[in-house]
């Protein structure tokens, strides 16, 4: 009986887990990555991350597996405080206060989904440049082996949303993945 109780406990702990967004800057210039939360387009500043990545640097941020409306993108040409960015700008400074809802650039998106009999609880994810510019060539890979790639020079519809009904760009993975968001892959 003790073994059964222990397994149940481990099961509970696993359900309150996180996925990880790992930013990698392979560009020859500085990128200021940002993460925000805006379910149904409504900014929720309870999830916000921002940092500075010089060429070759990387940084990670953990997000609750049950969250929806998570968005991550890269900013360029910011000032020394991480504000006044030329692309991908948001309200706030190094850490955005508006989830970058008007950033106007390619982003990665993540959200909890229960696929029921078709796979249970998963993270749905994608790249999207709907009504937005491709300010930085971007690759998004999940630790289960899936990967999408969007370059300004070539960004097929099955790699990134270019209209809001482009479902060919949709991907999903088991909870708890590490997603690697690479700038200039």
- Summarize as ranges the residues that interact with ligand NAG (CB under 6 A): 79-81, 83-84
N residues, the chain = 185
Q: Tell me whether residue 91 or residue 121 sits nearer to ligand NAG (CB atom).
A: 91
The tokens for 147 are 């990967």
Q: Tell me whether residue 81 or residue 165 sits nearer to ligand NAG (CB atom).
A: 81
Q: Tell me whether residue 83 or residue 130 sits nearer to ligand NAG (CB atom).
A: 83
Minimum distance of ligand NAG from residue 82's CB (angstroms):
8
Minimum distance of ligand NAG from residue 57's CB (angstroms):
20
Q: Output the CA–CA distances (angstroms, integers) from residue 180 to 25, 75, 85, 92, in the order listed.
A: 10, 17, 23, 25
Comparing CA positions, the residue from 151, 185, 148, 181 lying closest to residue 49 is: 181
Minimum distance of ligand NAG from residue 103's CB (angstroms):
16
Tell how strand 138-142 and strand 178-183 pair up: antiparallel
Q: Tell me whether residue 3 or residue 81 sits nearer to ligand NAG (CB atom).
A: 81
Minimum distance of ligand NAG from residue 104's CB (angstroms):
18
Tell how strand 48-50 and strand 138-142 pair up: unpaired
């Amino acid at each position: 009986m003790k073994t059964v109780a222990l397994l149940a406990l481990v099961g509970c702990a696993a359900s309150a887990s996180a996925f990880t967004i790992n930013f990698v800057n392979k560009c020859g210039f500085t990128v200021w990555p940002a993460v925000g939360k805006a379910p149904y387009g409504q900014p929720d500043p309870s999830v916000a991350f921002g940092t500075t990545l010089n060429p070759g640097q990387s940084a990670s941020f953990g997000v609750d597996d049950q969250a929806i409306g998570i968005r991550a993108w890269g900013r360029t040409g910011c000032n020394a405080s991480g504000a006044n960015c030329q692309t991908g700008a948001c309200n706030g400074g190094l850490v955005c206060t508006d989830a970058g809802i008007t950033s106007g650039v390619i982003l990665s998106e993540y959200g909890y989904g229960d696929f029921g009999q078709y796979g249970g609880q998963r993270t749905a994810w994608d790249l999207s440049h709907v009504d937005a510019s491709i300010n930085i060539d971007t690759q998004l890979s999940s630790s289960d082996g899936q990967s999408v790639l969007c370059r300004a020079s070539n960004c097929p519809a099955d790699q990134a949303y270019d209209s809001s009904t482009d479902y060919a760009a949709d991907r999903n993975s088991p909870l708890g993945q590490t997603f690697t968001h690479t700038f200039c892959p």
